Protein backbone atom coordinates (compact mmCIF):
# COMPACT_ATOMS: atom_id res chain seq x y z
CA UNK A 1 0.00 0.00 0.00
CA UNK A 2 1.29 3.47 -0.83
CA UNK A 3 2.14 5.73 2.07
CA UNK A 4 -0.37 8.42 1.09
CA UNK A 5 -3.38 6.08 0.95
CA UNK A 6 -5.84 5.81 3.83
CA UNK A 7 -6.00 2.45 5.57
CA UNK A 8 -9.26 0.53 5.77
CA UNK A 9 -9.18 1.09 9.53
CA UNK A 10 -9.03 4.87 9.01
CA UNK A 11 -11.81 4.81 6.41
CA UNK A 12 -14.04 2.85 8.80
CA UNK A 13 -13.13 5.29 11.59
CA UNK A 14 -14.17 8.21 9.37
CA UNK A 15 -17.56 6.59 8.69
CA UNK A 16 -18.25 5.61 12.28
CA UNK A 17 -16.79 8.87 13.61
CA UNK A 18 -19.01 10.92 11.31
CA UNK A 19 -22.09 8.99 12.45
CA UNK A 20 -21.23 9.44 16.13
CA UNK A 21 -20.59 13.16 15.51
CA UNK A 22 -24.13 13.43 14.07
CA UNK A 23 -25.68 11.55 16.99
CA UNK A 24 -23.82 13.55 19.64
CA UNK A 25 -24.56 16.80 17.82
CA UNK A 26 -28.25 16.01 17.84
CA UNK A 27 -28.83 14.24 21.15
CA UNK A 28 -25.97 15.42 23.38
CA UNK A 29 -26.04 19.17 22.83
CA UNK A 30 -27.61 21.92 24.89
CA UNK A 31 -28.95 25.20 23.45
CA UNK A 32 -27.12 28.27 24.77
CA UNK A 33 -29.71 30.98 24.28
CA UNK A 34 -27.62 32.45 21.46
CA UNK A 35 -29.47 31.65 18.20
CA UNK A 36 -28.31 28.45 16.45
CA UNK A 37 -25.47 27.96 18.95
CA UNK A 38 -25.23 24.91 21.20
CA UNK A 39 -23.02 23.48 23.90
CA UNK A 40 -21.97 20.50 21.77
CA UNK A 41 -20.23 17.35 23.08
CA UNK A 42 -19.41 16.14 19.57
CA UNK A 43 -16.22 18.24 19.56
CA UNK A 44 -14.74 16.30 22.48
CA UNK A 45 -15.31 13.12 20.48
CA UNK A 46 -13.92 14.75 17.32
CA UNK A 47 -10.73 15.60 19.20
CA UNK A 48 -10.33 11.98 20.33
CA UNK A 49 -10.79 10.67 16.80
CA UNK A 50 -8.42 13.29 15.35
CA UNK A 51 -5.64 12.40 17.79
CA UNK A 52 -6.13 8.64 17.37
CA UNK A 53 -6.53 8.58 13.57
CA UNK A 54 -4.71 11.74 12.45
CA UNK A 55 -5.46 14.95 10.58
CA UNK A 56 -7.14 13.54 7.46
CA UNK A 57 -9.57 11.47 9.54
CA UNK A 58 -10.14 14.36 11.98
CA UNK A 59 -10.84 16.77 9.15
CA UNK A 60 -13.18 14.42 7.31
CA UNK A 61 -15.06 13.41 10.47
CA UNK A 62 -15.64 17.08 11.32
CA UNK A 63 -16.60 17.96 7.75
CA UNK A 64 -18.83 14.95 6.98
CA UNK A 65 -20.32 14.70 10.47
CA UNK A 66 -21.27 18.36 10.64
CA UNK A 67 -22.61 18.41 7.06
CA UNK A 68 -24.77 15.34 7.73
CA UNK A 69 -26.01 16.72 11.05
CA UNK A 70 -27.06 19.99 9.44
CA UNK A 71 -28.63 18.27 6.42
CA UNK A 72 -30.60 15.79 8.54
CA UNK A 73 -31.77 18.11 11.30
CA UNK A 74 -31.91 21.53 9.60
CA UNK A 75 -32.53 20.63 5.95
CA UNK A 76 -29.26 21.99 4.55
CA UNK A 77 -25.63 22.25 5.69
CA UNK A 78 -24.44 25.61 6.99
CA UNK A 79 -21.19 25.45 5.05
CA UNK A 80 -19.23 28.08 6.93
CA UNK A 81 -19.49 26.09 10.15
CA UNK A 82 -19.11 22.73 8.39
CA UNK A 83 -15.81 23.91 6.93
CA UNK A 84 -14.61 25.03 10.36
CA UNK A 85 -15.50 21.68 11.94
CA UNK A 86 -13.30 20.03 9.32
CA UNK A 87 -10.56 22.62 9.89
CA UNK A 88 -10.62 22.08 13.68
CA UNK A 89 -10.54 18.28 13.32
CA UNK A 90 -7.64 18.53 10.87
CA UNK A 91 -5.56 20.86 13.05
CA UNK A 92 -6.12 18.82 16.21
CA UNK A 93 -5.16 15.73 14.21
CA UNK A 94 -1.82 17.34 13.34
CA UNK A 95 -0.93 16.96 17.02
CA UNK A 96 -1.35 13.17 16.84
CA UNK A 97 2.32 12.39 16.19
CA UNK A 98 3.54 14.68 18.96
CA UNK A 99 1.04 13.29 21.46
CA UNK A 100 1.53 9.64 20.38
CA UNK A 101 -1.48 8.38 22.29
CA UNK A 102 -0.86 4.81 21.09
CA UNK A 103 2.22 4.65 23.37
CA UNK A 104 -0.21 4.48 26.29
CA UNK A 105 1.15 7.57 28.03
CA UNK A 106 -0.77 10.84 28.28
CA UNK A 107 1.43 12.99 30.50
CA UNK A 108 0.69 16.44 31.86
CA UNK A 109 3.02 17.88 29.18
CA UNK A 110 1.01 16.10 26.45
CA UNK A 111 -2.29 17.23 27.99
CA UNK A 112 -1.07 20.83 27.94
CA UNK A 113 0.18 20.48 24.34
CA UNK A 114 -3.13 18.96 23.25
CA UNK A 115 -5.12 21.75 24.88
CA UNK A 116 -2.94 24.56 23.54
CA UNK A 117 -3.35 23.13 20.02
CA UNK A 118 -7.10 22.66 20.32
CA UNK A 119 -7.62 26.14 21.79
CA UNK A 120 -5.58 27.79 19.02
CA UNK A 121 -7.33 25.73 16.30
CA UNK A 122 -10.77 26.55 17.67
CA UNK A 123 -9.99 30.22 18.22
CA UNK A 124 -8.89 30.60 14.60
CA UNK A 125 -11.84 28.54 13.34
CA UNK A 126 -14.73 29.83 15.44
CA UNK A 127 -13.63 33.38 16.28
CA UNK A 128 -12.35 34.27 12.79
CA UNK A 129 -13.10 31.85 9.94
CA UNK A 130 -16.72 30.80 10.69
CA UNK A 131 -18.12 34.29 11.28
CA UNK A 132 -16.15 35.76 8.37
CA UNK A 133 -17.52 33.06 6.05
CA UNK A 134 -21.03 33.69 7.44
CA UNK A 135 -20.72 37.32 6.38
CA UNK A 136 -19.18 36.47 2.98
CA UNK A 137 -21.34 33.47 2.02
CA UNK A 138 -24.65 34.21 3.71
CA UNK A 139 -24.51 38.02 4.15
CA UNK A 140 -25.27 37.56 7.85
CA UNK A 141 -24.95 40.56 10.17
CA UNK A 142 -21.39 40.68 11.54
CA UNK A 143 -22.37 41.42 15.16
CA UNK A 144 -24.66 38.36 15.25
CA UNK A 145 -22.22 35.85 13.71
CA UNK A 146 -19.16 37.01 15.64
CA UNK A 147 -21.14 36.59 18.88
CA UNK A 148 -22.19 33.10 17.74
CA UNK A 149 -18.57 32.28 16.87
CA UNK A 150 -17.25 33.47 20.22
CA UNK A 151 -19.90 31.52 22.17
CA UNK A 152 -19.55 28.34 20.08
CA UNK A 153 -15.75 28.50 20.06
CA UNK A 154 -15.50 29.14 23.79
CA UNK A 155 -17.88 26.29 24.61
CA UNK A 156 -16.09 23.95 22.18
CA UNK A 157 -12.77 24.79 23.84
CA UNK A 158 -14.22 23.88 27.24
CA UNK A 159 -15.84 20.71 25.87
CA UNK A 160 -12.60 19.53 24.29
CA UNK A 161 -10.53 20.55 27.34
CA UNK A 162 -12.75 18.51 29.64
CA UNK A 163 -14.35 15.75 27.57
CA UNK A 164 -11.60 15.43 24.95
CA UNK A 165 -8.85 15.29 27.58
CA UNK A 166 -10.82 12.74 29.61
CA UNK A 167 -11.48 10.55 26.54
CA UNK A 168 -7.81 10.70 25.53
CA UNK A 169 -6.67 9.82 29.06
CA UNK A 170 -9.01 6.81 29.13
CA UNK A 171 -7.90 5.77 25.65
CA UNK A 172 -4.22 6.06 26.61
CA UNK A 173 -4.79 3.79 29.62
CA UNK A 174 -6.29 1.17 27.30
CA UNK A 175 -3.04 1.03 25.25
CA UNK A 176 -0.09 -1.13 26.22
CA UNK A 177 2.85 0.99 27.22
CA UNK A 178 6.03 0.20 25.34
CA UNK A 179 8.18 -2.19 27.32
CA UNK A 180 5.27 -3.48 29.40
CA UNK A 181 4.54 -7.15 29.70
CA UNK A 182 1.04 -8.34 28.97
CA UNK A 183 0.02 -11.22 31.18
CA UNK A 184 -2.18 -13.78 29.51
CA UNK A 185 -4.55 -15.95 31.55
Q: What is the tens place of the pLDDT at every residue in 9-42?
A: 999 999 999 999 999 999 988 888 888 888 899 9
- Residue 155: pLDDT band (50, 70, 90) is very high
Predicted local confidence at residue 184, as pLDDT? 43
pLDDT value, residue 183: 46
Cα separation, 185 vs 180, whole angstroms: 16
pTM score: 0.90
SS3 label, residue 39: strand
Distance between CA atoms of residues 135 and 80, nearest Å: 9
H/E element, 30? strand 29-31
What CA dihedral angle connects 81, 86, 91 and 93, to 10 degrees?
A: 140
pLDDT for 10 equals 95
Report the distance separating Cα 117 and Cα 77, nearest Å.
Answer: 27
Is the Cβ–Cβ distance between 63 and 85 less than 8 Å? yes
3-state secondary structure 150-184: HHHHHHHHHHHHHHHHHHHHHHHHHCCCCCCCCCC
The full length of the chain comes to: 185
In degrees and rounded to multiples of 5, residue 130 shows phi and psi of -60, -50
Rg (alpha carbons) of the chain, rounded to whole number: 17
pLDDT (tens digit per residue) in 36-63: 888 899 999 999 999 999 999 999 999 9
Contact 117, 95 (CB under 8 A): yes
Query: Which carries the bigger pLDDT value, residue 114 or residue 1?
Result: 114
Query: Do 67 and 25 form a contact (C-beta atoms < 8 A)?
Result: no
Amino acid sequence: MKKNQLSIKTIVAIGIGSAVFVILGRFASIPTGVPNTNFDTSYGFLALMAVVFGPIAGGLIGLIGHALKDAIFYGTPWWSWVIVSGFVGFLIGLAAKRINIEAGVFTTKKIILFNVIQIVAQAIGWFLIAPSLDVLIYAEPANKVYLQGIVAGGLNMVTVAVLGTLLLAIYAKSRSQSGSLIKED
